Chains A and B, each alone.
Chain A
Amino acid sequence: MAGFWIYGEWAEDDFHPVVYELLGVARTLAPRLGQRVVVVTLGPEDRKTGVEKVLSYGAEEVLFLVHPELDYFRDDLFGRLLGDMVRERRPEVFLFGATSEGQALAPRIAGELGLGLTAHCTAFEVDEEGRLVQIRPSFGENIMAKIVSRTRPQMATVRPGVFPKAEPGEPRGRVEEIKLAALPPSALVRRAVRPLPRVENPLTRARVVVAGGRGLQSKENFAQLFELAELLSGAVGATRPVCHLGWISEEHMIGVSGVSVAPKLYLGFGISGALQHTVGIQGAETVVAINIDPEAPLMKQADIAVVGDARRILPALIRRIREIKEGKNGSGS
């Protein structure tokens, strides 16, 4: 049977956005691997018309496991059912979004079947041996690693927001419905769901992101980023070290352990540019780096690199932009 499988995480009334992103990845890679694109999903019967949607986004088949009690995610149960499907159909590739669900599920399947799994890939290649080369930042240092798996399916997770969504087209393929008579036992029962106050992180949709790193030297200097963000109607981002230093809370963290951003303009103040951070700004259109060290990795990859002390340039920039906004001096344009 084989196939290039994508886990079809369901979110209320449609697939999770990351599924469409994975379909974009699959469209490029699956033909080169000689595989069909299959979205595998689990749920109650009434999702039938909903799951057809991906057939217009590059899925050649939807494998739909149906049972009324599959209406919410249970780690052990979903892991077991998908593990059985993998054993039976032997896909070549199985990709998951690195959502809380995907990150709970993919390693369960890997553990049950003894498979390799690569977390948080930021790029893929197909090598001359027809293997899926999984690329991810490595060891928290400034190197990327190319990883292959000796086992099949080749499994990997991808963070939401890293790849562009597949474009819709003419629908093709079909839904294969597999009605399950009984479910294997599960140790989990959902009791309640409560919305959390902050539903969406403003960073992921911001047009302008102003981010700071250790080069800003203090929490007080870092706090000035909020002033700049307000002037530019943007959001404040941070590197992992400054979150750990307590200068700002972790929701502001950009990178492997945080969120990915795709603004028109990204300004990085005193950020050296560890890969852990920069993989999260791949989608930024214009990157400006402000750093005392012209050799810093972020300076090398910036569209505009400003050499100087971020602590002094930040307030100067705030003053200059405020002048313009207040119409005092427009000579810069």
Chain B
Amino acid sequence: MHLIVCLKPVPKPGTVRVDPKTHTLKRDSAQLILNPPDLYALEMAVELKETYGGKVTALMMGPPNAAELLREAYALGADEMVLLSDRAFAGSDTLATSYVLSRGIKRLEPYDLVLMGKASIDGETAQVGPETAAWLGLPSVIQVKKIQREGDHGWVVVRVREGYEEELFLSGPAVVTVEPGINDPRPPSLKRLLAVRELAPRLFSAQDLECEPEKLGLSGSPTQVLDVFAPSYQREQILLTGEPEEVAQELVSHLRTRGLI
């Protein structure tokens, strides 16, 4: 069984600086980590491999230095590492990103299932999973908490909806996104950490993937950021300062005056 897990490099929270004048991100200053929700997808893939046999390929689109994060994925149980990296990918929105991922996935055929995290902690759109499936002409199921093989190519999946869960039969390969918190991602294995020092991810450029240039980067991204701004707030404000007991008392009397407590 071939399982592909898509992983996203994201800036470690708190390490991104915003230019106070232009409001643009100073991305170079950021330290990259594996997108935390993706770890549940990786763990699910590794557990499926342990149950049914086969291999897990960790697939990432990112800058060359993201190779280190793929090694981390290897230590967490992935068997192969693939990095899609090209200057032409810079500035991609979710549509252009999902196009590149779909080209990478196509390159890795045959496969049985593609897994992703529910959303990234930087963009938080949760769009790339279903968009990638659409590019590939595959079905997609989001927020999956359980998955099992049925028959030669089928899957039984359980997904989380508002207030209920839904069990579905899926007749073949698909893209699923995994609900965060549904398993316990294992710690990195020491043996694998040592082994991966000798290994490097396979690297694919836009040309290797036979991408159509107009579908990449800014030109392949239909959404455009017109402007960014810091929100402003204008309200009449009461400011309380002093010792904890004093301010607590003052706050309570303000809230009582307003009938709030």
A: residues with CB less than 8 A from B are 75-76, 79, 99-101, 103-112, 114-120, 133, 138-151, 186-196, 198-200, 208, 232, 240-241, 244, 250, 256-257, 264-265, 275-276, 286, 288, 294, 300-309, 312-313, 315-317, 319-321, 324, 332-333
**Would you give 24 A-B contacts (Cβ < 8 Å), ordered by A?**
A75-B139, A99-B162, A100-B161, A104-B140, A104-B141, A107-B130, A116-B93, A116-B221, A138-B225, A142-B18, A145-B225, A145-B227, A146-B229, A187-B174, A188-B141, A188-B171, A190-B168, A193-B166, A198-B163, A241-B13, A257-B124, A309-B244, A316-B248, A333-B256
- Residue B160, interface by CB 8 Å: yes
Q: Give the size category of B's interface with A.
A: 35 or more
Query: Interface of chain A, helix or strand or loop or mixed?
Result: mixed
Asked if residues B225 and A187 are in contact (CB atoms below 8 Å), the reply is no
B: residues with CB less than 8 A from A are 13, 16, 18, 23, 25, 36, 93-95, 98, 119, 121-135, 138-143, 156, 159-172, 174, 180-181, 221-231, 233, 235-245, 247-249, 251-258, 260-261
Given known A144-B228, A288-B251, contact A187–B139 (CB-CB < 8 A): yes
Task: Name the A residues within 8 Å of B123 (CB-CB).
Answer: 119, 139
Interface pairs A-B: 7 shortest CB-CB: A111-B134, A116-B222, A111-B131, A301-B233, A316-B248, A119-B125, A107-B130
A142, A324, A332 — which one has the most chain B CB atoms within 10 A of its CB? A332
Asked if residues A115 and B222 are in contact (CB atoms below 8 Å), the reply is yes
The 8 Å CB contact of A150, one of B98, B135, B224, is B224
Docked Cα-Cα span, A258 to B198, in Å, equals 41
Asked if residues A320 and B248 are in contact (CB atoms below 8 Å), the reply is yes
Docked Cα-Cα span, A146 to B224, in Å, equals 8
Asked if residues A312 and B238 are in contact (CB atoms below 8 Å), the reply is no
Docked Cα-Cα span, A190 to B126, in Å, equals 23
Within the complex, the shortest CB–CB distance from A243 to chain B, in Å, comes to 10
Given known A100-B142, A190-B167, A192-B166, contact A115–B237 (CB-CB < 8 A): no
Task: Name the A residues within 8 Å of B249 (CB-CB).
Answer: 320, 332
Chain A residue with the shortest CB-CB distance to B224: A148
The 8 Å CB contact of B223, one of A148, A264, A304, is A148
Asked if residues B161 and A101 are in contact (CB atoms below 8 Å), the reply is yes
Within the complex, the shortest CB–CB distance from A48 to chain B, in Å, comes to 25
Docked Cα-Cα span, A190 to B163, in Å, equals 17
Given known A116-B221, A140-B122, A193-B166, contact A250–B181 (CB-CB < 8 A): yes
Asked if residues A107 and B129 are in contact (CB atoms below 8 Å), the reply is yes
Within the complex, the shortest CB–CB distance from B245 to chain A, in Å, comes to 5
Asked if residues B225 and A317 are in contact (CB atoms below 8 Å), the reply is no
Given known A75-B139, A313-B248, A332-B252, contact A200–B226 (CB-CB < 8 A): no
Within the complex, the shortest CB–CB distance from A310 to chain B, in Å, comes to 10
Task: Name the A residues within 8 Å of B236 (CB-CB).
Answer: 303
Docked Cα-Cα span, A145 to B242, in Å, equals 37
The 8 Å CB contact of A75, one of B119, B140, B227, B238, is B140
Docked Cα-Cα span, A280 to B119, in Å, equals 18
Docked Cα-Cα span, A333 to B255, in Å, equals 9
Docked Cα-Cα span, A192 to B156, in Å, equals 11
Asked if residues B235 and A110 are in contact (CB atoms below 8 Å), the reply is no
Asked if residues A144 and B229 are in contact (CB atoms below 8 Å), the reply is yes
Asked if residues A117 and B229 are in contact (CB atoms below 8 Å), the reply is no
Asked if residues A149 and B222 are in contact (CB atoms below 8 Å), the reply is yes
Docked Cα-Cα span, A71 to B153, in Å, equals 26
The 8 Å CB contact of B133, one of A103, A111, A118, A265, is A111
B127, B156, B167, B221 — which one has the most chain A CB atoms within 10 A of its CB? B127
Asked if residues B124 and A304 are in contact (CB atoms below 8 Å), the reply is no
The 8 Å CB contact of A303, one of B122, B164, B235, is B235
